[in-house]
A and B are shown apart, each in its own frame.
Chain A
Amino acid sequence: MKRFLMLFILALAAFGAAFAQDVNKILAELDDLGDFGGKDFSAVYTIVSQKPGEKDSVTQVRMFRRDFKDQFTMVILLPEVNKGQGYLREEDNVWFYDPTSRKFSFSSIKENIQNSEAKNSDLTRQSLVEDYETVGVQDGMLGKFPVWIIQLKARTTDVSYERLTMHVRKDRTMLLKQEAYSVSGRLMRTTLFPKYVDLGGKLMPSQILIIDELNPGERSQLTMTEQSVSTLPDRVFTKAFIEQVNK
C-alpha cells in the first residue's frame, strides 16, 4: 500500500514538473511575442477612455522601444493640451518631461498614461517568466477558443499587480484575456486582446480593451497603428529628442 502511495506521489510530482515546464514555456512564448530582441519597435497608440457621465477622451502616444537596451521613449500627441509631454526610460529610470516647465521629473512604468486606464507598462516589454511564478493552471473556454487559464503570483514588488490570471489560447500562443488583482486579492482590471497583427514574425495585439473593475463603466480602448520594426536612430532615446520633438 505504501509502495502504491509512493508511486502515486512520484507520478503526481513528475506530472506537476512537466506541467510547470509547459506553463513556463507558454509564458516564455508570451514574453517572446512582446520582445523585439535586437530590433527596434515603434507604433502609435490611440487610447479612447470612457467614464460614466463624461465625454470620451482621446489620448494618442507615439511609442519607440529598444528592448535589448531596456529603453523606451513615449511622446504624447493628443490631447492638444498635453502635446509635447513625454516619457523616457533608461534602464531602471523613467523620466517624465513637461514642456511647460521644460523639466524632467522622476516617473514610473506603473504610472497611468494621462487620464486613461492604460499604464506605461502596458506598452512596454514585460517578462512574465522573471516577474511571476505560476500558482495554478486549468483548462477553460473563452468564447469558442479553448484556453489555458494560468494563475500567476508576483516574484517581485516591482510589478504593478500582485496576481494575474491569463487566458492563453491553446492552439496558438496568444493572450486573449488578462485579469489583474490587487495585493488584497480583489479584481482591479480586466484586459482583453481581441485583435492581433503579425509584425516581423511576432504577434502583437493591435487592439486592447482595458476594463476598470473597481469603477463600473470606466474603460479604455487602445488601438495600435503605424507599427514598425525599422531601426531607430540612437538620439530617439535621449532627453534632447523629447525636448525637441514638438518644437
Chain B
Amino acid sequence: MKTIANIAFRNLSRQKKRTFLLGGAIAFGVMIVTLINGFAGAFSANVSENFSHLLAGHVFISGAEKSGDNDVSVIRDDAALTAAVAESGIPVEYLTRRSEFSGTLIFEGMKIRTSVAGVELEKESYLQDRLMLKAGSWKAAADPRAIILSEKIAERLNVDVGDRMLVQMQTVTGQNNVGEFVLAGISYDTGIFGQMLSYAGMAYVNELLGLAPGEYQTMGIMLDSIKTTEGAANAIYAKLAASVSVFARGERDESGSMTPFQALIRQQNNEEWTGVKYRMFTINEILSQVEQIVTALDTAAGVILVVLFIIIMVGIANTFSMVMFERIREIGTMRAIGVQRSGVRSMFLFEALYLAVGGAVAGIAVALLVMAGLSLIDFGMNSPAFLILKNGHLSFFLPPLRALVNILIIALLTLLAVSRPAGAAARLEPAVALRTQK
C-alpha cells in the first residue's frame, strides 16, 4: 500500500501544472468557506461585546413598581442590589446606572423619534472613551440639559452644537411632558443603531421622567469578560433572590418567536405584586437572536461549500477520467506485472486524497493569512459597521473542529468524485489496456 501511495504522490508531482490548478480550485473554495466561518465565529462575540458597551453592562437589573394600573420602571434604592453584586464575589469592572425614555426631538419644524439614555456623564468615563465625538465636546456635556446626538439624528434635525431643542415624551406614569435640551456634542454615526445613541445627563432625564434624584431605572454590571456573563448572572441572581423580590429569569420561548428577555417582560405583564420587584437579564438574552444570525451564516457557508465543491468535483471527475485515458497503457503495464485491481483504484483515490487534503490545508492557510491581513486594517471606532468590529478592526475566529470538518467534507467529496474514474481504471483488462491506441 505504501508503494501505491508513493506512486500516487509521484503521479501528482509529474503533472505539476494540473495538480496546481486542481488543488488551487479546492484551496479557493476552502478559503471562501473558511473566511465565512471565521467571520461568523467572531460575529456573535463582537456584536455582544459592542452592545454591552452601548448598553453599559453584561448583566442588567431593572425594577418594576406597581403604581395603580401602571407598572413604573424604577429602582428607588439600590443598596440591596449593590450588596448582592458584592456578595456574589464576581469580578466587576464597574456598575452603571441609567434612566431612559423614548421621545420626539423637535427643532425648528423638524422632528425625529429617538431613545435618550440618562447617564451619569461625570462618572461614566468609559463612555467618553467609546463614543467618538465628531463635533462639540464632553466638557460642554457638563451642562445639566446637555444632550449628545448621533450624526444621523443631528443631520435629520438640522441642529448644530449649542442649539436648543425640545423633547416631547412621557413620564414613567404615562403623562405628557416636554423638556429642553442643548446640543453638547455630535457622535459619529454607527449605522442602523445610530438612533439608539442619544445621551443626556441622568438628573434631567429623571426630572422629565418624574423620578426623584438618586433614582434610576436600570443597573448595568460590566464584567471583566463577556465569557463569564451567565455564571456571574446566576451568582448575582442567587444573592438577589435572597434579599429582594425578583422575577424568575426569562426562558427562551420554545417556538423561538421570543427572546428570553421578551419572555421575561411577557411573564411580568401577567403577574401581580406590590412594591418594587426586580428583573435580571443578560446581554446574551437581549441578543439571543444574534445566535440565529450566526447559525444562518454557518448554514450559508455550508451551502456555499457544497455548491462550490459540486462544481469543483465535476471538474475533478472529468480530469481524472482524462488522467485514466492518458495512463491507460501504464495501468495495463501495472496490471500485467501483478498490481491488483484494488491497487489501481487505491492509486487514483490516494491522488484524490492528496489533492483534497493539500488543497484544503492550503486554502485554510491562505484564509488565515487573509484574515490576519484584514484584521490589521483599522476601520476606526466611527465606522458604520462598528458593531461587528473589535476595537475598530475586523476580527475572525475559526473553531479548529469546524476546520477539521471542512477538510473531512472536502476529502469525502473528492474521493466520491474520483471513485467512478478510479473504478473504471481498476476494471481495465491488462491486455485491452496495453493494446489501446491513444
Contacts and interface: CB of A to CB of B under 8 A. Distances in A.
A214 B210 contact: no
B109 A52 contact: yes
Interface residues of A, number: 23
B168 A161 contact: no
Interface stretch (B34-42, B64-72, B194-202, B242-250): B64-72
Nearest to A53: B109
A23 interface: no
A122 to B, nearest CB: 13
B208 to A, nearest CB: 7
A162 B208 CA distance: 13
Interface of B: 67-70, 106, 109, 111, 166, 168, 170-171, 173-179, 208, 210, 269
Interface of A: 52, 92, 106, 108, 110, 154, 156-162, 180, 182-184, 186, 188, 214-217
Contacts of A161: 175-176
A180 B67 CA distance: 24
B68 A158 contact: yes
15 contacts: A108-B174, A110-B170, A157-B70, A159-B175, A162-B176, A183-B171, A183-B176, A183-B177, A183-B208, A184-B178, A184-B208, A188-B178, A214-B106, A214-B168, A215-B109
A162 B210 CA distance: 12
Nearest to B172: A157
Interface on chain A toward B: helix, strand, loop, or mixed SS?
loop
B175 A162 contact: yes
Given A92-B69, A183-B210, A184-B208, A160 B106 contact: no
6 smallest A-B Cβ distances: which pairs?
Answer: A157-B173, A182-B178, A186-B178, A183-B177, A182-B177, A92-B69
Given A92-B69, A182-B178, A184-B208, A215 B106 contact: yes
Contacts of B208: 183-184
Contacts of B174: 108, 110, 157-158, 160
Given A182-B175, A182-B176, A183-B177, 14 more contacts: A92-B69, A110-B174, A154-B175, A157-B173, A157-B210, A158-B173, A159-B175, A160-B174, A160-B176, A161-B175, A183-B171, A183-B208, A184-B178, A186-B178
B129 to A, nearest CB: 33
B69 A160 contact: no
Nearest to A183: B177
Contact of B177 (A52, A184, A217): A184
Interface core residue of A108, A110, A156, A184 (most chain B CB under 10 Å): A184
Contacts of B179: 184
